[in-house]
Structure 1
Amino acid sequence: MLNQVYRLVSERKFESFVVSEKIHEKSVVVKPTYLSICHADQRYYSFKRRTEVINEKLPMALIHEGIGKVVATSDDKFSIGDRVIFIPSLPVEKDELIEENYLESTKFRSSNYDGLMQEYIISDISRIVKIPDGLENTIVAFAEMLTVAHQGITRLSRVSDISDSVIGIWGDGNLGYMVSALIKCIYPESKVYVFGHHQAKLNYFSFVDRTFLTDNIPENVRIDQAIEATGGLGSQMAIDQIINSLEPEGASVLMGVSEENVPVNTRMVLQKGLTFVGSSRSSRSDFIEVMNMLTKNPLLVDKMGILVDTVRDIKSIDDIGQAFEHDQAHAFGKTIMHWHL
């Protein structure tokens, strides 16, 4: 079938491409309906990646957070009209030890494979998950980011008991907010401290136990585990503060993406016997678990509703650019594109 794909071709410029798609026996045809803009998409849109990376990947359709409706299927697991959430990781092999999102061969939408800004998505049945009734489109549109948060928490729980400990979250943005909300949902007996740069953003974290500005952390603050959710230029300060604040033999998950190498105080890591674990993206199991959690926890849904900054109708390529420009001007919350193309 012929499909319209909207790709980034140069800085802040999108163009439409007509692509011939093959529909296989296990394919499901999905019409995208609500898409969410991520910081990773913005780095491509604004050409904040290295030149060689940009040149290698463009032209490419952006967006990896989103949902759609099934319009054609030959598989009895789905019906026409079903709402589904897209899993952006596209594995081409299975490994008994390595999760799909860490395999070097796995493709990822809007990174090394076309994203969701398309007329239709031809998806394998394993790359979509049915959305339970009752969940709002504008919230599940960015639930992929919740699955990333869930992956990080799961990886931390594998190396340290976090059921009733003090957990520090570095990062007062969307990811830090989601991680904090999920921890409070999964481990209600734990204490969550959030460390951020902006008091205005920290005010949104009313459900955690304590918040701190990163330039005014009391010397006696100690934590059992930490999650770094800052990324970028803030990673170095965050990791330094995590190392200083962790109790001996504490553990931390690193989730923030940085374009540059980040120095680490290895002397104190060794002296305190600390464990650091990397976490990136998510797998199908995270999507299934997050859908279940949203269904069973209305308070979690309410917390996610705060992140819906704006919903913009997308009926033209110009509308796409305007949505990205709007999103850049807002440091907290998610810009949702109601996709009509």
Structure 2
Amino acid sequence: MANNIEARRFSRRTVITGIGATGVALIAGCRLPFSASKEAPKTPTPNAEATTQAAQVEALQTSVGQLAEKNSELEAQMNATPTPESATPLERINDLVSVSGIPKSIDGSTVDVARAGFENELGLGTEGWVAEPGKLLVGPNFGFQDKTPAEIQEMVDNSNGAIEYLNPLNQDAFENEGPSYFNLPGGGFILSTAAKMTVQIGDAVIGLEGAPRHNWMLVVRGQYADGQVDTDENLRAEFTNYIPRHIQVMAYPGKPNGGFISEGQFNQIAETSHTGGTNCGDAGCSDLSVAMFDVNTKAFTVIRQNGLNGEWNQVYSNWTNPNAK
């Protein structure tokens, strides 16, 4: 089941008929039919003819000017860039989070949560994003402490796609000022860590503000895969308001075996934020907040942890899991 999150809008350039590229009126000549009457045509007096021509020219110039002015107005409307005043404002839902395009409440029964063979221990509204077994992205030193390279490769091969190596296609660290873009894979997820960021996906905008001693993690579930050939369920995530080189984004493909992000890896990333992440220096950040968003249902949850191994608390959620323990 896939939702059409982003509507496509088509604009059409307005052409004012009768106005050439130079702004000069294009007047089509017409030939009057020959009259069989033997009566000689009356010759107008020079003054009357001049007056008539002057009036016609003046009327034509007025018409051309009005059309050109209207054309300029329409062109300006089509080419105008939305200003902050005209853009949809973000609604603040707590001290660090502002959103737009996300409803205040949704039906929790529509959210795809961990069950029937999947286990989520954290709860607090995270059941729609992290669970075990889940998708795992690993570096080249994965498991080297207690396994040989051959044993590690065998583990990866036997995971049926649940374990993937990090590579230039599934991770990025933005080096320049935004906006920057990253693919949200159909049927999969993205996970981003940063001191602050604003992310737009379709009509939904999530603003995560920075604060002292604080780091952010954002997890987004992409559109459900529909299993059809040649249908594109990928979405583009636009990132702004971040600190260059202090933001990382990773993509977790949905297929194969990517129904959730590994809860164990989620916990590992949280631990790294508290102990070794560089957004607060070389010893990590005391506080970590996690925002989770589902583009299919618009489910949105924010949780926070104060200190390594501290208790997780739900800060905000627009849904309730009817199957929660």
Q: Which category of TM-score, normalised to the shorter sequence, fits these structures?
A: under 0.3
Which is helix-richer, 1 or 2?
A: 1
Specify the structure having the higher radius of gyration (Cα): 2
Higher RCO (CA < 8 A, seq sep 6+): 2
- The normalised TM-score by structure 2 is 0.26
- The normalised TM-score by structure 1 is 0.25
